[in-house]
Amino acid sequence: MSEPLDPPTGLWSDDARWAASTIGFPVLLLDAQRRVHLANPAAQALAGKLDLEPAAGAESLVALVSDAQWESALRDGYWKGVVRPDPEHPLALEIHCGQSPDTPHCLMVLVDISARDERQRQYAELQRTVERLATTQEQLLRSEKMASIGQLAAGVAHEINNPIGYVGSNLGTLQEYSAALLALVEKYHEALFSEDPAARRQEIMQARQQLDIDYILGDLPNLLKESREGIERVTKIVQDLKDFSRVGRDQKMQPADLLQGLDSTLNIVWNDLKYKVRLEKHYSSLPLVECLASEINQVFLNLLLNASQAIEQRGTIVLASGCDDKEVWISISDTGCGIPPEVMPHLFDPFFTTKPIGRGTGLGLAISYSIVAKHHGRIEVTSTVGQGSTFRVVLPIRQPQDATQEAAKLPSDVE
């Protein structure tokens, strides 16, 4: 079944026959009478696999071609089509016929479409996996954002609660003060309309003393000033929170003031930091940077929290910035525990954390990395164990063309 039946000499050179026999896909060498001169091993295997007439062997593959198809191949020198539409095992083939009209010889190449379908199926499966991964990443981003929002909420609640607490208590005191002042005004009023106002002077002086008016007059401006500051602080925190989450709405990269973003973010985590951290700022002014400000703020938040968490007792966080004509950088340095060299390669791996369960999810840096990469920037890390670490975010001032539109499609655009 494998070797050609009585091969006519001179039709196919030994080289051509050798080449056909070594090719990995099914190939038949034929003459114009459809006699098989060679069926390579792949063709023989296919004939067996298709469960065609076993005795016919490779000839059974030739029998798949109808007379009309065969004539068309001889006439045009080429024919290609599906010869076996069987859904279980479809088969296509190509026939190439030699140039010489006297001794036409044909090369029949079979294409097992079922294998192609299998590859298509694998491709579709791969695509579905990629889509599932994108959805999972989106969910992760959302949960990371939720986690950091949860972390923030505690700090922000405290930050707001504090001024609201003393503004509330000041209002209570102011209520007492205004009652005393109104009582005194009432005394003045009575005296003014009495027959002898001067005679009431002593009484008024006494009331003034009893009501502690001198103290009230001294304290009142302080209370009002403090209350006003409290309200301003709350307004500022609310504004910072808005800045922090802002812009995320339309997800278009826009020129943004990164130092203002850093300060806003710092403000809302300050409650976590203030008891153990001394802060130094070495800002040099930056141009506006084309970015998704809310996402870059998320990066700052992660880096600030990491820096604070690296400091056990007391330490310093230094914020610095700089730029050249193409890039800006912002660095967050801490005098915390530092990062051992063996940990360095894993820093940006999702779920890599050295923190106790419940403290870290190990997503902060992974998310930050993908946000910065989306902005065509990078995060550089230097660290010495026992001395501290510096995370430097480097961003291009302008995004490459089209990046602004691309950004809107990427899965990290999670509100």
Ligand X SMILES: Nc1ncnc2c1ncn2[C@@H]1O[C@H](COP(=O)(O)OP(=O)(O)OP(=O)(O)O)[C@@H](O)[C@H]1O
| Candidate ranges 28-36, 246-254, 323-331, 347-355; the one touching ligand X (CB under 6 A) | 347-355
| 273 in contact with ligand X (CB under 6 A) | no
| 335 in contact with ligand X (CB under 6 A) | no
CA distance 253 to 271: 30
One residue of 360, 373, 396, 403 binding ligand X per CB under 6 A: 360
Residue 349 structure tokens? 């791996």
CA distance 371 to 153: 22
| 321 in contact with ligand X (CB under 6 A) | no
Per-residue x/- mask for ligand X, residues 373 to 392, rule CB under 6 A? Answer: ----------------x---
| Residue 92 CB contacts under 8 Å (≥ 6 apart), including other chains | 80, 81, 82, 83, 110, 111, 113
Long-range contact list for 169-173, CB < 8 A, 24+ apart?
170/223, 170/226, 170/227, 170/230, 171/227, 173/219, 173/223
| 361 in contact with ligand X (CB under 6 A) | yes
Residue 8 structure tokens? 């006519």
Min CB(180)–ligand X separation in Å: 52
CA distance 359 to 305: 11
Q: Report in angstroms the alpha-carbon separations of 39 from 22, 29, 47, 293, 337.
A: 11, 7, 10, 66, 72
Residue 57 in contact with residue 26, Cβ under 8 Å?
A: no
| 306 in contact with Mg ion (CB under 5 A) | yes
248 touches which of ligand X, Mg ion, none (CB within 5 to 8 A by kind)?
Answer: none
389 touches which of ligand X, Mg ion, none (CB within 5 to 8 A by kind)?
Answer: ligand X
Min CB(393)–ligand X separation in Å: 13
One residue of 277, 328, 347, 379 binding ligand X per CB under 6 A: 347
CA distance 410 to 395: 18
| Residue 302 CB contacts under 8 Å (≥ 6 apart), including other chains | 148, 364, 365, 367, 368
CB closer to ligand X, 117 vs 349: 349
One residue of 36, 38, 296, 307 binding ligand X per CB under 6 A: 307
One residue of 83, 106, 323, 365 binding ligand X per CB under 6 A: 365
Min CB(80)–Mg ion separation in Å: 59
What are the residues facing 96 on neighbouring strands? 78, 107
298 touches which of ligand X, Mg ion, none (CB within 5 to 8 A by kind)?
Answer: none
| 336 in contact with Mg ion (CB under 5 A) | no
One residue of 353, 376, 398, 403 binding ligand X per CB under 6 A: 353
Q: Report in angstroms the alpha-carbon separations of 268 from 161, 263, 381.
A: 13, 9, 24
Question: HSE (CB half, 13 Å, CA atoms) of 160?
Answer: 15
Min CB(378)–Mg ion separation in Å: 18
| 370 in contact with Mg ion (CB under 5 A) | no
| 308 in contact with Mg ion (CB under 5 A) | no
336 touches which of Mg ion, ligand X, none (CB within 5 to 8 A by kind)?
Answer: ligand X
Q: Are strands 327-334 and 388-396 parallel, antiparallel or unpaired?
A: antiparallel
One residue of 108, 301, 363, 395 binding ligand X per CB under 6 A: 363
Residues of this chain that bind ligand X (CB under 6 A): 302, 306-307, 310, 334, 336-337, 339, 343, 347, 352-355, 360-366, 389
